């Protein structure tokens, strides 16, 4: 920036010297001397001035790109380092706007300080040199400059406000658009295209309205400055001609003065342009500063420019940790709420997750099952109580250390952008192709993927895979390397029998080697569990196995009855072995038809 400023100053100096050298040419012409020297100086000034301006332009362009890049990467880093709750209460589209279109506004604004300094110095330099030529003509010029400056001072702040409002509308538009596209099937099935279009165009119109307001103000500022200078030139011409006629100034002085007056357009345009760009930049910077306020997760640095080295994850599963005893995860008196004024989402939770075996969480909607998962994954921090991993409190681990021991399958099982291979390697980027194929085999997708022309390199989009396949890909990612704890949030929607059987088999296999915790939505999963935790209104109501709970807990009986209706499975009688009596879904996997 400093180099840009210096280059600008040199280019300005060359520009400022030009009228004086022109006067020298005219005086030399009048005196009948050789024109060689003044004309050479004039040419050198023009060429050097142009070359330096070009250099400065390119330099400032590079700085502008760097500023935009820094702003974008800064926002992206903050998003990915932020605590989940900091992001989830904003719409995805709005967050995207702040990483894409807001930083673009900094492009013009980035060089505005240099432009303003250059413009201001050029303006002062021009006025000083005008003063050396004729003070009376300078007086006429100053009136125009002061009037222009006052009007600009009054108009410019409203340009910034209009820009900010326009960006807010663009942000809202991004949010609504992202939501509408995500739910496009529902939008169409509800015949809501027109209504959504109307809602979206309202935001787009809002942005255009504010943008137009800013454009009108900018146009007014430009017109005022140009007209002011044009009027000043007319006055200079009139007053100057009269003074030259009376012999008070030479004609060459008047010509040089007029050249300076025309030259005033340069600094005044530069000042106007940079002040306008700066207003837009200030508006964008204000919105970007709000992102800086996002709270980061403990142990993550939103300002680090290089990603931290991933912490080595020791061999997973109980087999890799024979030295450790006691539960792998423990919750002790845990209470958590989503907002200080909200009621606790879970309260006084005491729970041990054994190192080996399957723990199923069941409970009515809103009971706090997902919240419990968020606590285990350290997406949420408890208000009271503590969560322990291997007997050590969570705050004594970094979130990465905790998550390095867990594998998580989300209920919606979203695919991440990229290929099938990218999706499978998402947790362990160093996994070999053989490991990937083994994981695909575990979820019965190997034949399907090997039949694809591009195999593991097939690009994957959420729309190109079925819900069941998405879940199996997510499961394959989770079981790629044996995790210590597999957290599985089962799909609530009906999934195909094959997917359900694959999930059941994976859960059973993992539960033999390590811990599996499921939010169970299927009777087959509940029946498979070694420990069932019944939750209600944020509390643990009962813990036990299926047979015991069926005999002792009314809510559990109701839940099982509703699952039975959902899956059309017979409920085994209390005391009977649920695993063998549960019917249809426990068909041995090998006997299921291959896809």
Ligand X SMILES: Nc1ncnc2c1ncn2[C@@H]1O[C@H](COP(=O)(O)OP(=O)(O)OP(=O)(O)O)[C@@H](O)[C@H]1O
Q: Which stretch binds ligand X (CB under 6 A): 21-29, 128-136, 365-373, 577-585?
A: 365-373
**Which residues have CB under 8 Å from 422's CB, separation 6+?**
416, 460
Between 224 and 491, whose beta carbon lies closer to ligand X? 491
Q: Is 235 helix (H, G, I), strand (E, B) or coil?
A: helix
Query: CA 441, CA 436: separation in Å to the nearest integer?
Result: 9
Q: Which of 114, 367, 431, 586 binds ligand X (CB under 6 A)?
A: 367
Q: Which of 366, 395, 417, 551 binds ligand X (CB under 6 A)?
A: 366
**Least CB distance from residue 330 to ligand X, whole Å?**
19
Count of residues of this chain found to bind ligand X when the rule CB under 6 A is applied = 12
Query: CA 446, CA 438: separation in Å to the nearest integer?
Result: 8
Q: Which of 194, 365, 463, 594 binds ligand X (CB under 6 A)?
A: 365
**How far out from the chain centre does Cα 447 lie?**
37
**Least CB distance from residue 345 to ligand X, whole Å?**
3
Is the separation of the CB atoms in 175 and 92 below 8 Å?
A: yes
Q: Which stretch binds ligand X (CB under 6 A): 213-221, 364-372, 459-467, 471-479?
A: 364-372
**Least CB distance from residue 341 to ligand X, whole Å?**
11
Q: Which stretch binds ligand X (CB under 6 A): 35-43, 114-122, 253-261, 366-374?
A: 366-374
Query: CA 263, CA 285: separation in Å to the nearest integer?
Result: 33
User: What is the CB neighbour count within 10 angstroms for residue 154?
Assistant: 10
Between 370 and 567, whose beta carbon lies closer to ligand X? 370
Between 69 and 84, whose beta carbon lies closer to ligand X? 84
**Least CB distance from residue 340 to ligand X, whole Å?**
12
Is the separation of the CB atoms in 397 and 547 below 8 Å?
A: no
Is the separation of the CB atoms in 106 and 68 below 8 Å?
A: yes
Between 210 and 369, whose beta carbon lies closer to ligand X? 369
Q: Which residue has the tokens 């380092």?
A: 81
Between 287 and 369, whose beta carbon lies closer to ligand X? 369
Q: Which of 4, 363, 514, 578 binds ligand X (CB under 6 A)?
A: 363
Q: Which of 23, 72, 369, 403 binds ligand X (CB under 6 A)?
A: 369
Q: Which residue has the tokens 């300002």?
A: 303
Q: Which of 368, 404, 468, 514 binds ligand X (CB under 6 A)?
A: 368
Instruction: Read off the DSSP letter of residue 324.
Output: -
Q: For residues 313-352, which are near ligand X according to CB under 6 A? A: 338, 342, 345
User: What is the CB neighbour count within 10 angstroms for residue 155?
Assistant: 18
Q: Which of 56, 141, 252, 370 binds ligand X (CB under 6 A)?
A: 370
Between 16 and 559, whose beta carbon lies closer to ligand X? 559
Q: What angle do CA 473, 471, 187 make, to 5 degrees?
A: 120
Q: For residues 86-105, which are near ligand X according to CB under 6 A? A: 88
Between 351 and 480, whose beta carbon lies closer to ligand X? 351
In the chain, what are the helix, strand and coil shares in percent, each to the nearest 5?
65, 10, 25
State phi, psi for 184 to the nearest 5 degrees: -60, -35
**Least CB distance from residue 338 to ligand X, whole Å?**
3
For residue 539, the cross-strand partners are: 536
**Least CB distance from residue 77 to ligand X, whole Å?**
23
Query: CA 475, CA 410: separation in Å to the nearest integer?
Result: 9
Q: Which among 489, 197, 179 is positioned nearest to 360, based on CA atoms?
A: 489
- Residue positions counted in the chain: 595
Q: Could you say whether residue 426 binds ligand X (CB under 6 A)?
A: no
Provide the CB-side half-sphere exposure for 549 (13 A, CA). Answer: 29
**Least CB distance from residue 288 to ligand X, whole Å?**
25
Residue ranges that bind ligand X, judged by CB under 6 A: 88, 338, 342, 345, 363, 365-371
């Amino acid at each position: 920036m400093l180099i840009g400023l210096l280059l600008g100053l040199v280019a300005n100096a060359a520009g400022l010297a030009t009228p004086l050298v022109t006067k020298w040419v005219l005086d030399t012409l009048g005196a009948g001397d050789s024109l060689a020297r003044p004309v050479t100086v004039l040419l050198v000034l023009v060429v050097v001035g142009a070359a330096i301006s070009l250099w400065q332009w390119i330099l400032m362009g590079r700085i502008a790109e760097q500023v935009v890049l820094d702003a974008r990467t800064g926002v992206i880093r903050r998003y990915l380092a932020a605590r989940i709750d900091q992001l989830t209460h904003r719409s995805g589209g709005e967050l995207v706007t702040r990483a894409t279109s807001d930083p673009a506004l900094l492009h013009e604004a980035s060089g505005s300080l240099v432009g303003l300094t250059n413009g201001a110095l050029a303006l002062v330099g021009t006025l000083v040199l005008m003063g050396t030529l004729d003070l009376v003509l300078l007086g006429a010029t100053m009136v125009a400059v002061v009037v222009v400056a006052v009007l600009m001072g009054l108009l410019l702040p409203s340009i910034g406000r209009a820009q900010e409002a326009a960006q807010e509308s663009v942000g809202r538009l991004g949010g609504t658009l992202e939501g509408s596209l995500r739910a496009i099937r529902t939008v169409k099935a509800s015949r809501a295209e027109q209504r959504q279009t109307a809602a979206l165009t309202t935001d787009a119109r809002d942005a255009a309205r504010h943008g137009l307001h800013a454009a009108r103000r900018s146009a007014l500022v430009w017109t005022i400055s140009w007209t002011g200078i044009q009027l000043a030139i007319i006055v200079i011409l009139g007053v100057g001609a009269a003074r030259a006629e009376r012999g008070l100034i030479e004609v060459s002085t008047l010509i040089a003065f007029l050249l300076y007056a025309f030259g005033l357009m340069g600094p005044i345009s530069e000042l106007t342009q940079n002040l306008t760009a700066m207003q837009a930049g200030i508006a964008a910077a204000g919105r970007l500063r709000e992102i800086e306020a996002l709270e980061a997760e403990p142990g993550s640095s939103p300002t680090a420019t290089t990603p931290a080295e991933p912490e080595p994850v020791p061999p997973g599963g109980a087999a890799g940790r024979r030295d450790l005893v006691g539960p792998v995860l423990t919750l002790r008196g845990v209470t958590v709420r989503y907002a200080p004024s909200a009621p606790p989402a879970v309260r006084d939770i005491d729970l041990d997750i054994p190192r080996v075996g399957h723990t199923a969480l069941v409970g009515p909607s809103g009971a706090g099952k997902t919240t419990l998962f968020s606590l285990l994954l350290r997406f949420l921090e408890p208000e009271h109580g503590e969560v322990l991993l291997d007997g050590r409190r969570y705050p004594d681990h970094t979130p990465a250390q905790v998550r390095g021991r867990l594998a998580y399958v989300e209920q919606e099982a979203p695919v991440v952008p990229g290929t099938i291979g990218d999706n499978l390697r998402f947790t362990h980027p160093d996994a070999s192709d053989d490991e990937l194929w083994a994981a695909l085999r575990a979820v019965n997708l190997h034949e399907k993927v090997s039949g694809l022309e591009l195999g593991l390199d097939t690009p994957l989009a959420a729309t190109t895979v079925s819900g069941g396949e998405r879940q199996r890909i997510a499961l394959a990612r989770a079981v790629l390397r044996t995790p210590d704890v597999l957290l599985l949030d089962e799909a609530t929607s009906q999934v195909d029998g094959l997917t359900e059987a694959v999930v059941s088999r994976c859960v059973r296999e993992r539960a033999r080697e390590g811990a599996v915790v499921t939010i169970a939505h299927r009777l087959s999963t509940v029946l498979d569990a070694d420990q069932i935790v019944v939750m209600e209104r944020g509390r643990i109501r009962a813990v036990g196995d299926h047979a015991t709970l069926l005999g002792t807990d009314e809510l559990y009986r109701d839940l099982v009855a509703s699952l039975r209706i959902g899956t059309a499975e017979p409920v085994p009688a209390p005391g009977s072995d649920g695993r063998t009596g549960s019917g249809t879904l426990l068909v041995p996997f090998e006997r299921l038809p291959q896809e």
